[in-house]
Structure 1
Amino acid sequence: NNEFGFDYLRDNMAWNLADCVQREHNFAIVDEVDSILIDEARTPLIISGPADKATKWYVEFANIATRLIRGEHYEVDEKKRNVGILDPGVTRVEELLEIENLYEAVNTPMIGYLNNALKAKELFKRDRDYVIMNGELLIVDEHTGRVLSGRRYSEGLHQALEAKERVEIKDENQTLATITLQNYFRMYDKLSGMTGTAMTEASEFMQIYKLGVIPIPTNKTMQRKDQSDLVFKTEDAKFEAVATDIMERHRKGQPVLVGTVSVEKSEVLSQALRRKGIPHEVLNAKQHEREAAIIARAGTIGAVTVSTNMAGRGTDIMLGGNPEFMADYELQRQGISPVENAEQYESMWP
């Protein structure tokens, strides 16, 4: 889906018609349609190019932000994802920078650095919105839990986060072309799709895309039981109860998949399970390279898998495990490659 959008953007930047690659937007069928058209609808596809070099001011304002007090020097609107500097904050910043007027024309760029530094401090959290891997700050997709390789926040925000985390600050980029997935797919004359979880979003499909939802009965009778919510006074009590429940099911040999909302929460639950001596796997943005192996074994007897949204929509977890993948994994673990040792690999294939 992303590549279709990027092709559209590149076509609009092309100087010659011969360089355009995309056909007319007549008809599209989208798999996992609610994930693309609802969850990721406002995700911007951006083509960017080099802009200004990173400046010293990112580090300077990251340090200043730590010396400002929320509620006294600035206010935060978490719902609107915004911050606002207050008069005492302006005075404090002017003192720290040793300038007379922050809003003087020559100091105008500093207001942007200040706002980004405060946003980085208050609105963006490590292991929830982003992770640090190999000294690089990588964005985590809030819907899929996956690392968005190659993506960077715009307008200096990414550099402000890099300054906050004390990693290498890379040069700024400027946006050359952008479109959201929602606006891209609305260009099609006819649009349809399929998914196993569309009915809950039926009103939104109709309101935004003028698409009706038709439910198709399951091939077999639904066996899943949806239990009522359990509410705890504290998060610690909740995780303790979850870990205890997992321990009981693990002892019975029941495979368990636990969903968490962020990398941070998956690691908190992992610590609770370790304290109880429960062997388990953690699947989050930091272990994305092992995703296929973890999912293949998640349905085996007694397996416990703690995951972010990475094991969400479109993920097939087979009870008993995925035998083909596990056989291939075991053979390659023994150094038997289907490419380099083709005959031996074929002879040992179960």
Structure 2
Amino acid sequence: MLTQLLNLIFGSKNDREIKALMPIVQRINALEAGLTPLSEQALADKTQEFKKRLAAGETLDDLLPEAFAVCREMSRRKLNMRHFDVQLIGGMILHKGRIAEMKTGEGKTLVATLPVYLNALEGKGVHVVTVNDYLARRDAEWMGKLYKFLGLSVGVIIHEKSDPERRQAYHCDITYGTNNEFGFDYLRDNMKFQLAQCVQRGHNFAIVDEVDSILIDEARTPLIISGPSEESTDKYYRIDKLIPRLVREEDFKVDEKARSVVLQESGIEKAEKFLGVDNLYDPRHMDLVHHIQQALKAHTLFTRDKDYMVKDGQVIIVDEFTG
């Protein structure tokens, strides 16, 4: 009751934060009249002017009102879309590294152009993370027109690109791609033997679209790079023959929500007897425990043509979020 009363008097925390940003919105709006008469070349030249001012010691926050105003004016001319005040506020929130929740139809894609343009002025690279290749390609082409007219380069990372193409895209001022592509490129770079072989450069600033899906839902599925096994495949066949001998709920329990399998005492005894080992959990046999766990998961939690496919003799895992 007291909280509701205080909110009525002083406004909620969200209301107070938005109110604090309104003077900056007014400054951006006040700049519009001075930018409208400029030629397209004069407007594009503002990018180089901003870069020189950054080099001279000004900060991105110092440039924010002017940069947002320039980006909005060029968007109005080239995309026929002018940022509304609520979109300016959303852009400032994203620039601060915070989450901006916007309703469907409020133009999230257009909102992102403001902080993306501002942070790309540093020349250190900006990543725009989307949920699938289609959106990455679409947004890079759609919003790329705006950035290119402002003198910035735009790249896109999609599945079929080679390392040289990826390296070129990452060295653009702005790079679009999916969370999986960015993540796997990072993992692969950490397996390279020379820095010159890496495709990514430093990580400076990123905008994440559908942040709840990418950082919560999809984050439950780890990114794993597999390699060729150096051990004999006989072990896999032996363990695969063991699994049908184990009884669910008696020898092992399945947690479908956590997608995990736990061996019970009776299951451990059956496995030790079948595999001819005295102690399954002896450090020498820990790889057997791992293989049994994975085999049980494959048999109980994964369904062919739903969770995985077999194509040309290879097992292909199906991403449950993107298909």
TM-score w.r.t. the length of structure 1 is 0.35
Bigger-Rg structure (1/2): 2
TM-score w.r.t. the length of structure 2 is 0.38
Higher relative contact order (CA 8 A, sep 6+): 1
User: Which structure carries more helix by proportion?
Assistant: 2
